[in-house]
Amino acid sequence: MIGQLPPYALAPVRFRFKALASQAGRTLLGGDREVLLACFVACRTGSGLCYGVTFTPAELASRAAGARAWLASLSVPGQVRLAAAAVIDASGVADGVGVARCTAQLLMLAAPLLDEAGFAEMRELADELAHDSSEFMVEPVLRR
């Protein structure tokens, strides 16, 4: 029984993007926090296309619609809004390479606000979704 969970136990939950969430929680209310939250929600929505995550096309579309509605309530700069919406839209139609491309664009816009861990989380998502694509590769500029 060593190394196995008892039959009544729940498997541990891996919370992805905890650095982004933590940084947003530490940031003062206002524009910077809302940009970080937009990055967090866009990445969480986009991560629905990662290996090991199984959502149906209807679930992906529903998640994207909810995230789009939430994003509309934020007060963020127009370019950040467009980039975050692009990540969300690409995830709603199961376009992994599109999510990678749009995440890289969002990362470039939000980079001045991100700490090292948050930057790495966003870059890892873009790398993971573009890993075997000949259409898109994350640029070396997006490495710290």
Determine, yes or no, domain membership for 116. Answer: yes
pLDDT above 60: residue 1:
no
pLDDT above 90: residue 103:
yes
In the chain, the number of structural domains is 1
Rounded CA separation 138/130 (Å): 7
Q: Give which of 53, 86, 51, 50 is closest to 67, Cα–Cα.
A: 86
| Residue listed under structure tokens 């075997």 | 132
Rounded CA separation 58/36 (Å): 27
pLDDT of residue 83: 97
When pLDDT is cut at 50, 70 and 90, the band that residue 26 belongs to is: very high
Domain that residue 112 falls in: 31-142
Determine, yes or no, domain membership for 87. Answer: yes
Rounded CA separation 34/71 (Å): 9
Phi–psi pair at 68, nearest 5 degrees: -60, -45
